[in-house]
């Protein structure tokens, strides 16, 4: 049988958008499942630590799987691996639905993480490789905005639709099965995320090539994902009402949601590298008053908005820069390394930030965050300029 001919670029882009729609549907259902699981486990009498362990399992599995994924993509193909990732997440939700047993729930969490890693890495690599160079920032920013919207909407669905625990999990299962069906067909199988014949490197190789980009993603993970719950806890520690304290986390999330597309649009015009330095400077300016002992009220509010919005933009800008840096190679290794950095930042952020808060209070935490922002500014200016022909968003 003769090999399948490559897809024409317009058709390829339509197929990429089809995959993106499937992954957004998957993420919407994923964000629904977590809170529902937490409520069910609490009703079964499990401790808060046990619930936290279950909710952490998918993210820990993502971090462990990412270094291996680029070689699996090279061995089995990007399209089949993406579909396998969607199927694994669907299987995990089926296990959540069928068995309340804690051991099966933990096993499903690992399957969910494996599937999420493949879907996350594959989709980011597709956008990095197939977005038109002149619109790479807008494609990435729009995808990150849609992703944030899906993550924010999912937890509201059970209440909006009047669903119980089983009904909500059934809805999630149906939605994820739909995502798998969207990705069936030879057009998805033909997708690639690198030039023909590009070597299959792992994320460790990409880390050695561009350690500064991975560090920028890690810092973005600390600010955007790692400080969400901690900001609410800090508000409560200051004696604020529950509504005001939790609103801090909402301000952080809203900032993250609103700034992704503007950051991508600006990257198309000015390049991602100077914007990374500018984002770091904004984080520094927003956090410095708290480090110098300014009162939490009102300074914590604009600082938290910057942590979410500008911190989230660090990840978006880093992914745009990664797409340019690896434009002549497979994007899978570069995106895997950046996703890994962001995941580690989101995981260790609460631990380190919480320790700083305990030992040195809010000024100590703010001082540590200022140092992180300063490191991004230095690394952004030391980043190697892009090669000619790799597009403006770099």
**Is the pLDDT at 358 greater than 50, yes or no?**
yes
Measured CA to CA, the distance from residue 379 to residue 215 in angstroms comes to: 9
pLDDT at residue 76 above 50? yes
Closest C-alpha among 314, 300, 313, 311 to residue 247: 300
Q: Which residue has the higher pLDDT, 360 or 392?
A: 360
Given a cut of 50, whether residue 8 has pLDDT beyond it is: no
User: Are the C-beta atoms of residues 207 and 332 closer than 8 Å to each other?
Assistant: no
Q: Domain spanning 9-189: which CATH class is it, in words? A: mainly alpha
Whether the predicted pLDDT of 226 surpasses 70: no
> pTM here?
0.84
Angular region, 3: left φ>0, alpha ψ -120 to 50, beta rest = beta
9-189 matches 203-382 in fold: yes
- Give the model confidence (pLDDT) of 193-205 as tens digits: 777 666 777 788 8
Percentage of the chain lying above the pLDDT 70 cut: 91
pLDDT 10s digits, 78-111: 999 999 999 999 999 999 999 889 999 999 999 9
Per-residue pLDDT for 272 more than 60? yes
What's the chain's average pLDDT?
85
Q: Which of 203-212, 267-276, 306-315, 378-387 has the lowest mean pLDDT?
A: 378-387
Q: Which CATH superfamily is domain 203-382 in?
A: MFS general substrate transporter like domains (1.20.1250.20)
- Give the pLDDT confidence of 290-311 residue by residue, as tens digits: 899 888 788 888 888 898 888 8
- Residue extents of the structural domains in the chain: 9-189, 203-382
């Amino acid at each position: 049988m003769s090999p399948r001919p490559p897809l024409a670029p317009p058709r390829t882009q339509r197929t990429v958008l089809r995959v993106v729609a499937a992954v957004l549907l998957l993420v919407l259902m994923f964000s629904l499942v977590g809170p529902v699981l937490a409520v069910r486990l609490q009703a079964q009498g499990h401790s808060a630590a046990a619930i936290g362990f279950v909710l952490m399992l998918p993210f820990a599995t993502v971090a462990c799987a990412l270094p291996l994924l680029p070689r699996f993509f090279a061995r089995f193909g990007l399209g089949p691996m993406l579909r396998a990732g969607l199927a694994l997440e669907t299987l995990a939700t089926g296990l959540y639905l069928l068995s309340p047993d804690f051991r099966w729930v933990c096993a499903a969490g690992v399957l969910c993480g494996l599937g999420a890693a493949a879907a996350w890495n594959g989709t980011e690599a597709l956008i990095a490789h197939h977005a038109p160079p002149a619109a790479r920032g807008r494609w990435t920013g729009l995808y990150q905005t849609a992703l944030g919207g899906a993550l924010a909407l999912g937890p509201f669905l059970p209440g909006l639709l009047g669903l119980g625990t089983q009904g909500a999990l059934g809805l999630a299962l149906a939605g994820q099965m739909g995502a798998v069906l969207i990705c069936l067909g030879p057009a998805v199988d033909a997708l690639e995320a690198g030039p023909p014949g590009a070597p299959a490197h792992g994320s460790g190789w990409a880390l050695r090539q561009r350690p500064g980009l991975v560090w920028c993603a890690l810092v973005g993970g600390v600010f955007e994902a790692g400080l969400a719950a901690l900001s609410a806890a800090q508000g409560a520690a200051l004696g604020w009402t529950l509504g005001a304290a939790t609103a801090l986390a909402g301000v952080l999330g809203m900032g993250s949601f609103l700034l992704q597309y503007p950051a991508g649009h600006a990257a198309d015009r000015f390049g991602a590298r100077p914007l990374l330095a500018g984002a770091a400077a904004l984080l520094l300016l927003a956090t410095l008053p708290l480090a110098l002992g300014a009162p939490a009220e009102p300074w914590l509010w604009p600082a938290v908005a910057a942590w979410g919005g500008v911190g989230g933009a660090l990840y978006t800008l880093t992914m745009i820069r990664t797409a340019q840096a690896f434009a002549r190679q497979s994007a899978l290794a570069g995106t895997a390394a950046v996703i890994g950095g962001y995941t580690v930042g989101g995981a260790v952020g609460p631990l380190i930030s919480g320790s700083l808060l305990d030992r040195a209070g809010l000024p100590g935490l703010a001082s540590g965050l200022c140092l992180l922002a300063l490191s991004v500014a230095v690394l952004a200016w030391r980043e190697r300029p892009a090669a000619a022909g790799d597009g403006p968003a770099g």
